[in-house]
Structure 1
Amino acid sequence: MSAAAERLPEPIVRTAIDWQMRLRANGGNAELQRQLQDWLRQDPRHQLAWQRLQQMSGLFQASQLPSATQSIPLLQRAEADLSRRRMLKLLSLGAAAGGVTLLTANAPPTWHTDLATTTGERRLVDVGDGVKVLLNTGSAMDVQGQQLLLRAGEVQVDGAKWQVRCRFAECNGHQARGLLRERDAHSEIRVEQGAVLVSGASGQRWLQAGEGLSVSARGMTTLGKGSLDPAAWTRGLLVVNDIRLGDFLAEAGRYRTGWLGCDAAVADLHLSGVFHLDEPQLMLRNITHLLPVKIVERTRWWVRIVPVA
């Protein structure tokens, strides 16, 4: 099936529409823009949904944007067939409700990936030659002969000999198990076992077990121990130590569909704990036992953490 004809899952389309609404209302919010980019990188289908939405919806004029009471019930109507035709119908309803302009165009193509996971999914794949890859939530990878190409997200690679190319580096593992993650402006490589040769624009460097490296267009930087256990996700956990609530929610949001954020008044609160990734709702409820905050849910896919009154 071509990218233009690909049918997208309902939660992805609804989330893309929600992002469109919020950006039109808060276009200058840098944190919102960053969160959108995080969401787009999680899954190639997120990018496809966003591209289609931009092409199909044209420009929502801010002066005519529907209010939350209008737009949220409207978005909740997307419950069944969300093919490209259904998306057009839904957006047409939005135009009627808010008096916005709707422009249509052909959806642009997106890149194809051999291996991918949806939001909240982890997937173990044997790619041959004794190499196994565990993909984290919203990740995508191509298999090009004996070389693996990390397109988005995060993976654990384990095997006697493997080669992974990411955005800013090429990694060659020798009897190694490593973690690779793509971020906004850099690639992260961490070694759990064995040794990995990392090659970037600024040179090469060997990494041993317990070491990590950030590679960008500007060079290589050693990764220290942070507030997030980088390998915990491989065990189905999110393990944090003295992490900012804002940073915690950005990480936790990778594992659930929709938007997850917090009020600026509580973003700098810190917490520590062990959370189960397969229980996202329980994860959020546990925050309220650790910090003086409460959960505000407009819908099941729009959640905001705010101070306790």
Structure 2
Amino acid sequence: MSLSPSRHQPSPQVVKQAIQWSMRLNSASADPRLYRQCEQWRTEHPDHECAWQRIQALSSELSHSFQALPGSGAAFEALENSAQRLGRRRALKLLSGVAVLGSAAWVSRETVPWEQWQADFATHVGQRHSYQLQDGTRLQLNTDSAVDQHFTAQQRLITLMRGEILVACGADSQSPAPRPLRVQGRHGLFESIGGRFVVRQEQAKTRISVMEGSLVIRSPVSPPVQVKAGEHYSITPQHVALLQALDMDAAAWAEGLIVTKDMRLGDFLAEVGRYRRGYLGCADDIADLRLSGVFRLEDTDKLLAVLPQTLPVKLSYRTRWWVSLQRQA
């Protein structure tokens, strides 16, 4: 589904409707017809989709934070079941209260769930979504990402609040004097007249990968840097550095894939872990094993099940949220 977002906040009534749809679809009695009805409601007005995305992002962030706590699997299942019998407002209050009490790190992060709530576009863990912006730019959000859009007569600006985006932009179709498309991130401003590029923002660094066209990096720690197609750069508060060839395709996630070339197993599991909740890791003695291949993201459990077929490892599921790999005996 594509849309141009409403620049004002959805009304309380629309937000309430989005909450009600979310609760109905999360119930055990939800059927395919209900999903179709919800989809129809979401397409009736941009505010409906905006409210739906923010409800899903907030709910997912709360549940993800709680599930990451040690020993929380069974407790969270009980809370989920109880939440079905509560009003949505009370259920969110319950989940957020438990998460805050159980994890000081959750409340101290720079980007909190309420910031995602304010975003024009957001995805939760494991979700990817594509949008057509009002100027014709195609914007794709990877897992657990949030962006704001600021388009005026003078500028086209996308603010990356968290996560990773793929941007495909062309000539400005709405202004006689072409406005460059800019992406503002934590570590710099990235400007393109036309091209296709990925911006991946982490706490300590941002990575830029250009697939088509060109892009200019503007950072406080460096003169402007021109990035050409096929190049990758890392931007930190200390430097802007050209990267050698990556051990994975930077844009493959947009097609629902992880494509690796001689990638460390430890790094591969960290990448897969971005698309699922809970813990995913491996023993130190197998972290440096290497793998190359094409892996589909729609079911990460099936993806992990492939690994023992190609590497001397075995999977261990302590719970559905705690998966580890050890060396095969």
Q: TM over 0.5, yes or no?
A: yes
1:10 Cα deviation after fit: 6.4
Does residue 196 (structure 1) correspond to residue 196 (structure 2)? The answer is no
1:92 Cα deviation after fit: 9.8
- How many angstroms apart in 1 are the aligned matches of 2:102 and 2:130? 45
1:86 Cα deviation after fit: 4.4
Note the residue ranges of structure 2 that are not aligned, 5 or more in a row. 1-11, 20-53, 171-179
Q: Identify if the C-alpha distance between structure 1 residues 203 and 244 changes in structure 2 by more than 3 Å, giving closer, same or farther.
A: same
- How many angstroms apart in 1 are the aligned matches of 2:102 and 2:139? 45
Does residue 19 (structure 1) correspond to residue 68 (structure 2)? The answer is yes
1:277 Cα deviation after fit: 1.0
Query: After superposition, where does 1:204-223 map in structure 2 within 5 Å?
Result: 204-223=224-243
Match of 2:189 among 151, 163, 170: 170
SS in 2 for 1:17: helix
- How many angstroms apart in 1 are the aligned matches of 2:219 and 2:98? 49
Question: Which residue does the alignment assign to 1:74?
Answer: 75
Q: Identify if the C-alpha distance between structure 1 residues 72 and 127 changes in structure 2 by more than 3 Å, giving closer, same or farther.
A: closer
- How many angstroms apart in 2 are the aligned matches of 1:168 and 1:193? 22
The residue type equivalent to 2:140 in the other structure is L
Q: String of CA shifts for 1:30-54, please: whole Å, max 9, x gaps.
A: xxxxxxxxxxxxxxxxxxxxxxxxx
Contact 1:92 1:102 in 2 (8 A): no
Does residue 300 (structure 1) correspond to residue 315 (structure 2)? The answer is no
Question: Which residue does the alignment assign to 1:51?
Answer: none
Give the % identical residues: 33
Structure 2 length-normalised TM: 0.68
Does residue 291 (structure 1) correspond to residue 311 (structure 2)? The answer is yes
1:306 Cα deviation after fit: 1.8
Question: Which residue does the alignment assign to 1:183?
Answer: 202
Note the residue ranges of structure 1 that are not aligned, 5 or more in a row. 22-67, 95-99
Match of 2:244 among 204, 221, 224: 224
- How many angstroms apart in 2 are the aligned matches of 1:236 and 1:251? 13
- How many angstroms apart in 1 are the aligned matches of 2:291 and 2:327? 15
Q: String of CA shifts for 1:61-96, please: whole Å, max 9, x gaps.
A: xxxxxxx5xx543333233318574477679999xx
Question: Which residue does the alignment assign to 1:271?
Answer: 291
Structure 1 length-normalised TM: 0.72
SS in 2 for 1:205: strand
Contact 1:15 1:301 in 2 (8 A): no
Question: Which residue does the alignment assign to 1:151?
Answer: 161
1:122 Cα deviation after fit: 1.4
Question: Which residue does the alignment assign to 1:253?
Answer: 273
Q: Identify if the C-alpha distance between structure 1 residues 123 and 11 changes in structure 2 by more than 3 Å, giving closer, same or farther.
A: closer
Question: Which residue does the alignment assign to 2:114?
Answer: 110
Contact 1:158 1:176 in 2 (8 A): yes
Q: String of CA shifts for 1:173-209, please: whole Å, max 9, x gaps.
A: 1221111110221111111111111100122011111
The alignment of Structure 1 onto Structure 2 pairs a total of residues equal to 252
Contact 2:282 2:324 in 1 (8 A): yes
- How many angstroms apart in 2 are the aligned matches of 1:191 and 1:137? 20
1:301 Cα deviation after fit: 2.1
Contact 1:169 1:198 in 2 (8 A): yes
